[in-house]
Structure 1
Amino acid sequence: MRDRELEPLDPEVAVEQYLDSRRPSVTDSTYRNSKNRLGHFLDFLEEEEIDDMNDLTGRTLYNFVAWRRGDIAPITLQKQLSSLRVFLRWAADVEAVPEGLAEKVHSPELPDGAEARTVVLEEERAEAILEHLNRYEYASRRHVCFSLLWRTGMRISSLHALDLQDLRPDDCAVDLVNRPETDTRLKNGNSGERWVYLGPRWYQVVEDYVDANRYDVTDDHGREPLVTTKQGRAHKLTVQKWIYSTTRPCMMHDCPHDEDPQTCEAMEGYQQASKCPSSRSPHTLRRGAITSHLLDGVPPEVASERMDVSLEVLYRHYDARSPGEKMNQRKKFLRQ
């Protein structure tokens, strides 16, 4: 049933008005990408003979996802649906669709490592972020989460699973344990269990976080999580938002997108940080960490065991080295 407060609006007009509203504040490439992605949505609505934004429902959006899924790669579909959500939030603001409709756009889950290999957090940038955190947010939750993800290349689900009892101070390591019965299953189950070496420098950050900034709480199963909020074990989505916020470039220098931090939507708290085009997800840290290990001369077999990823998947999805960098790595083992 229609919301009585909605105002009729033609989809093509809506997209045109939305793009006009965005034009002054985005780059040319962002504008072109949004126009192209929303063009596919308009094609779908035309095919479905929907000529009023008021008629959009969750089922409409589900059918659109199904309609596009067969034509493009999952990661491309995710990007298109991200643009669609932003558009629908704007449409809700102008009373063309119900509030909350954007949240009914559900992206397909990606297989492990399916993001494009070009989307990676480079070592130089990661080191700059770590230096900033070390100076201004030492032993904070953001610092310890970023440090662990970058140093080990572990998945966010592994970080989420860590308890205080999993710290191994004598070895400067953490013990990753699969505990599905208490809601912290590792990606690969029991086969993903392993000790992961941090080293003294990185382990010290963890110890100082525990001493100074960890909330002394238990989770719903009586366990003592490593990464906590006041409510208990930090949710994976919460950690994800911390990483997005930590990787916003304006944390350390001027915005590369010519946005004013005082008015930029991506600066409105952790919840909005992912809207920054230059922020990065935890998965890009994993890819960057694996690539950094390989560039440092760590054998792929060692990286494979350390990061709990098969060699096939490592080479296909996580190795972001350039052809020249790969050649230079091989040269070290060849006679001159």
Structure 2
Amino acid sequence: MTGPPELSPRDARDRYLDHRRTEASQKSIESWHYRLKRFVEWAEEEDITSMAELDGWTLDEFENYRRGSGVSPSTLNGEMQTLKNWLEYLARIEVVEDSLPEKVHVPEIPDGEESNDEMLDQADAYALISSFRKDPERYGTSKHALLELLWFTGARIGGIRSLDLRDYHSEEQYIEFRHRNGTPLKNDSDGERAVGLPESVCEVVNTYIENYRNDAHDGGRKPLLTTTQGRPSENTLRVWCYLATQPCLHEPCPHGKEREACEYLHVHHASKCPSSLSPHRVRTGSITWQRDCGLPAQIVSERVNATLEVIEKYYDKATARQRLEERRRPYIENLQLDFDIDP
């Protein structure tokens, strides 16, 4: 029996991803594909045709290339860790030398740079939501409904996109996140959950369904949020979010522009507004706000489908003073002694 064939970087990547499909979510596969794509394209530009050509010097050259491209420390850390995991698989099936994975340098992330602290804070969220609720022309529109759902559930954009009309329960005031073909959840079936909604949010969603939702279908399903073509893509929802979080909706433009003539109102330029925020930043703000509202960490974890460790490290951005004033100070009275101590 002959040994394993020499695999090109592209073929080796595809084999690895196929191997992982049975044990990982589609979102994870897409993330790994994106990270390894950088290495594959770089290797092809360097005329590396076989994985057998890789050595410690080659790996260091790639890391220097990515570092020089200006990526953040967290991005570089993730790319190099994925590269190492990939090479460990290839070493196991003897496509590369056993020692090669250990030659991958996974740079540590400097303290304070594990995640981006930018988020939609409570004051801005209240102002934006209030501006939509008070404007009859914008109340219940697609952008308004999306912003309310993102803020009051803390869900990922993929989860919001997955919602069907049947997943929204107006009378009972909750929505269900279900893992289905074509609209997978981040953690597959483990991401399925029911999330309660305040009555005011249900009123917004009801108005959207009655007045703004297109009667569109998606493979026999009826999406909750729709465009004229059917279920919106994640990119379309991101654009809606960028447009819904522009501060000029409730205050003068902080960048000195006139709203009526601002190019950032166009769908192709909405993400360029320096003050608009992505769905991920709304999620971050929502999780911090839910904790500040007194919801126990475990309840928030279940609502947003994230572990306690992940919430603490990446999403909950309350300051030390906020944690004291809004979360711990109410319990100070529990520390009182029920008798006096003589001086």
Say whether 1:295 aligns with 2:280: no
Structure 2: stretches of 5+ with no match in the other structure? 1-45, 47-61, 78-112, 337-343
C-alpha RMSD over aligned residues: 2.6
Going from structure 1 to structure 2, the CA distance change for 1:280 and 1:76 (only over 3 Å counts) comes to farther
Instruction: Kindly state the Cα deviation for residue 213 of structure 1 after the two structures are TM-superposed.
Output: 0.8
Going from structure 1 to structure 2, the CA distance change for 1:169 and 1:249 (only over 3 Å counts) comes to closer
Query: CA offsets, 1:293-328, max 9 Å, x none?
Result: 111111111101111010000000111111011123
- Structure 2 partner of 1:201: 200
The whole-number CA distance in structure 1 between the counterparts of 2:300 and 2:169 is 20
- Structure 2 partner of 1:167: 168
The whole-number CA distance in structure 1 between the counterparts of 2:324 and 2:279 is 28
Query: Does structure 2 conserve the Cα–Cα contact (< 8 Å) formed by 1:265 and 1:275?
Result: no
Going from structure 1 to structure 2, the CA distance change for 1:323 and 1:185 (only over 3 Å counts) comes to same
The whole-number CA distance in structure 2 between the counterparts of 1:199 and 1:174 is 11
The whole-number CA distance in structure 2 between the counterparts of 1:274 and 1:184 is 24
Q: Please show how residues 69-218 of structure 1 align to structure 2 within 5 Å.
A: 72-74=72-74, 116-136=115-135, 137-179=138-180, 181=181, 183-218=182-217
Going from structure 1 to structure 2, the CA distance change for 1:258 and 1:160 (only over 3 Å counts) comes to same
Moved more, 254-263 or 325-334: 254-263
The whole-number CA distance in structure 2 between the counterparts of 1:64 and 1:241 is 34
Query: Does structure 2 conserve the Cα–Cα contact (< 8 Å) formed by 1:117 and 1:320?
Result: no
- Equivalent AA in structure 2 for residue 303 of structure 1: V
- Equivalent AA in structure 2 for residue 314 of structure 1: I
- Structure 2 partner of 1:315: 312
- Structure 1 partner of 2:324: 327
Query: Does structure 2 conserve the Cα–Cα contact (< 8 Å) formed by 1:173 and 1:195?
Result: yes
- Structure 2 partner of 1:251: 249
The structure with more radius of gyration = 2
- Specify the SS of the correspondent of 2:268: helix
The whole-number CA distance in structure 1 between the counterparts of 2:239 and 2:260 is 19
Instruction: Kindly state the Cα deviation for residue 259 of structure 1 after the two structures are TM-superposed.
Output: 3.0
Instruction: Kindly state the Cα deviation for residue 251 of structure 1 after the two structures are TM-superposed.
Output: 2.2
Query: Does structure 1 conserve the Cα–Cα contact (< 8 Å) formed by 2:213 and 2:226?
Result: yes
Say whether 1:238 aligns with 2:239: no
Calculate the TM-score normalised by the size of structure 2.
Answer: 0.64
The whole-number CA distance in structure 2 between the counterparts of 1:75 and 1:134 is 38
Calculate the TM-score normalised by the size of structure 1.
Answer: 0.65
Query: Does structure 1 conserve the Cα–Cα contact (< 8 Å) formed by 2:66 and 2:76?
Result: no
- Specify the SS of the correspondent of 1:271: coil
- Structure 2 partner of 1:304: 301
Going from structure 1 to structure 2, the CA distance change for 1:288 and 1:166 (only over 3 Å counts) comes to same
- Specify the SS of the correspondent of 1:325: helix
- Specify the SS of the correspondent of 2:195: strand
Query: CA offsets, 1:149-191, max 9 Å, x none?
Result: 0011011101000001111233200111000x2x100001100
- Specify the SS of the correspondent of 2:184: coil
Q: Which residue of 256, 259, 275 maps to 1:278?
A: 275
Instruction: Kindly state the Cα deviation for residue 132 of structure 1 after the two structures are TM-superposed.
Output: 1.0
How many residues end up aligned between the 2 structures? 237
Query: Does structure 1 conserve the Cα–Cα contact (< 8 Å) formed by 2:131 and 2:250?
Result: yes
- Structure 2 partner of 1:66: 66
The whole-number CA distance in structure 2 between the counterparts of 1:208 and 1:167 is 13
- Specify the SS of the correspondent of 1:175: strand
Query: Does structure 2 conserve the Cα–Cα contact (< 8 Å) formed by 1:168 and 1:174?
Result: yes
- Structure 2 partner of 1:103: none
Query: Does structure 1 conserve the Cα–Cα contact (< 8 Å) formed by 2:74 and 2:115?
Result: no
Going from structure 1 to structure 2, the CA distance change for 1:263 and 1:211 (only over 3 Å counts) comes to closer
Query: CA offsets, 1:14-63, max 9 Å, x none?
Result: xxxxxxxxxxxxxxxxxxxxxxxxxxxxxxxxxx9xxxxxxxxxxxxx99
Query: Does structure 1 conserve the Cα–Cα contact (< 8 Å) formed by 2:114 and 2:314?
Result: yes
Percent of aligned pairs sharing the same letter: 34
Structure 1: stretches of 5+ with no match in the other structure? 1-47, 49-61, 78-113
Query: Does structure 1 conserve the Cα–Cα contact (< 8 Å) formed by 2:67 and 2:76?
Result: no
- Specify the SS of the correspondent of 1:277: coil
- Specify the SS of the correspondent of 2:331: coil
The whole-number CA distance in structure 2 between the counterparts of 1:309 and 1:69 is 31
Query: Does structure 2 conserve the Cα–Cα contact (< 8 Å) formed by 1:117 and 1:319?
Result: no
- Equivalent AA in structure 2 for residue 310 of structure 1: T
- Specify the SS of the correspondent of 1:298: coil
Going from structure 1 to structure 2, the CA distance change for 1:249 and 1:225 (only over 3 Å counts) comes to same
The whole-number CA distance in structure 2 between the counterparts of 1:166 and 1:122 is 28
